């Protein structure tokens, strides 16, 4: 899923200070799964912001809603009447949903409530860890189904650097496994360590965000 996390509350308070009426909109898809922007989080954040703003003497009316999917135009339409009475919208959706919302209401001040952070897996309750970097050139076929592009801090393609700790963790954190350590373990378990012995050439990053904004076109699906 796409994961996101709340921006620091003082930053959110700063955005809303001086507004009269704000629509705070969540999304019931990815950001709900990662407990950042679902209905529960909307209904937690709204009173918190109302209280913080009221306490500093600049009360703001905050109305709330949660869309099934903020990244699909048809789910936004039912909120058009609510949006028409507000002078700002704050979204707890991922950056994709946020932009569709901002595009639908270009005349209204728009603020992000979350930072979109990663493409992650809910590994355990309350724990989300990265699985994909959307690099546009998948290597999982050569790395035994474990992604070194997103899960190695240096996106190494030819094995572990010298930073693997004795525990098998990455040099950046004891909580982050060295993915190359795991790739080697899996290769060994499959009896195919030799498949990791060839030198992999530099990656073509042109199909990743580094290559510029993506434009994916399928003529057969066009109207």
Partner 1 sequence: MSLKASTNLEKVLAAGQFALTAEIGPPRGPDAEVVAKKAALLKGLADAYNITDNQTAVVRMSSIAAAKLVLDAGLEPVMQMTCRDRNRIAMQSDLLGASALGLRNVLAISGDHQRAGAGGKLKGHPGAKGVYDVDSMQLLAILKGMRDEGLQASGDELTSRPAFFIGAAWTPLGPPKEFRVTRLAKKIAAGADFIQTQAVYDVKAFAQQLAQAHDQGLTEKAAILPGIIVPRSAGMLTYMHNNVPGVVVPAELTARLKGASDPKAEGIKVTVELIQAVRELPGVKGVHLQAIEAEELLREIIPAAGLTPRPQV
Partner 2 sequence: MAAPANKFQPRITVLYCRQCLAADAQPFEGRRPGQGFAAQLVLLPCSSKMQVHNLMRILEKGADGLQLVACPDNACQHLVGSMRAGKRLAYAQGLLQQAGLEPERLGLARGQGLSLESITEMAGQRAEAVRPLGPNPLKGVSS
Tokens 């707890």 found at: 92
Contact (Cβ atoms closer than 8 angstroms) between residue 46 and residue 24:
yes
Tell me: does residue 21 bind partner 2 (CB under 8 A). no
With contacts defined by CB under 8 A, name the span among 7-15, 88-96, 187-195, 197-205 that binds partner 2. 7-15
- Residue 164, interface with partner 1 (CB under 8 A)? yes
Binding piece for partner 2, criterion CB under 8 A, among 22-30, 40-48, 107-115, 200-208: 40-48
51 binds partner 2 (CB under 8 A): yes
| Residue 26 binds partner 1, judged by CB under 8 A | no
Q: Among 160, 207, 213, 215, which residue sits at the site for partner 1 (rule: CB under 8 A)?
A: 160
Burial 112-145 (b: 16+ CB within 10 A, else e): bbbebbbbbeeeeeeebbbeebebbeeeeeebbe
User: 2 or 53: whose CB is closer to partner 2?
Assistant: 53
Asked if 86 touches partner 1 (CB under 8 A), the answer is no
Nearer to partner 2, 10 or 191 (CB): 10
Indicate whether 44 belongs to the interface with partner 2 (CB under 8 A): yes
By the rule CB under 8 A, 166 interacts with partner 1: yes
Q: Which does 104 bind (CB under 5 to 8 A by kind): partner 1, partner 2, none?
A: none
Please identify which residue in 17, 55, 195, 214 interacts with partner 2, judged by CB under 8 A.
55
Longest dimension (CA), the chain: 67
Tokens 């909120």 belong to which residue? 79
**Residue 48 is a binding residue for partner 2 (CB under 8 A):** yes
Q: Does 43 bind partner 2 (CB under 8 A)?
A: yes
Structural tokens at position 27: 């999304």
Residue 95 or 168 with smaller CB distance to partner 1: 168
- Footprint of partner 1 on residues 194-213 (CB under 8 A)? 196-203, 205
The site for partner 1 (CB under 8 A) is made up of 153-166, 168, 171-173, 178, 180-181, 184-185, 188, 193, 196-203, 205
């Amino acid at each position: 899923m796409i994961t996101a996390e709340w921006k620091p509350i003082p930053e959110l308070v700063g955005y809303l200070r001086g507004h009269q009426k704000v629509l705070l909109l969540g999304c019931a898809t990815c950001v709900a799964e990662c407990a950042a922007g679902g209905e529960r989080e909307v209904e937690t954040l709204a009173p918190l912001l109302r209280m913080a703003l009221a306490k500093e003497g600049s009360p703001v009316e905050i109305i709330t809603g949660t869309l099934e999917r903020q990244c699909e135009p048809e789910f936004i339409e039912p909120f058009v009447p609510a949006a028409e009475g507000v002078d700002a919208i704050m979204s707890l959706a991922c950056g994709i949903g946020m932009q569709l919302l901002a595009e639908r209401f270009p005349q209204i001040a728009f603020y992000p409530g979350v930072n979109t952070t990663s493409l992650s897996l809910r590994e355990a309750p309350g724990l989300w860890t990265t699985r994909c970097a959307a690099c546009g050139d998948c290597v999982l076929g050569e790395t035994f189904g474990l992604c070194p592009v997103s899960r190695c801090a240096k996106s190494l393609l030819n094995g572990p650097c010298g930073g693997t700790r004795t525990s098998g963790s990455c040099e950046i954190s004891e909580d982050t496994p060295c993915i190359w350590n795991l790739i080697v373990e899996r290769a060994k378990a499959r009896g195919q360590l030799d498949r990791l012995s060839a030198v992999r050439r530099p990656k073509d990053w042109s199909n990743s965000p580094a290559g510029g904004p993506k434009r994916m076109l399928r003529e057969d699906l066009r109207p």
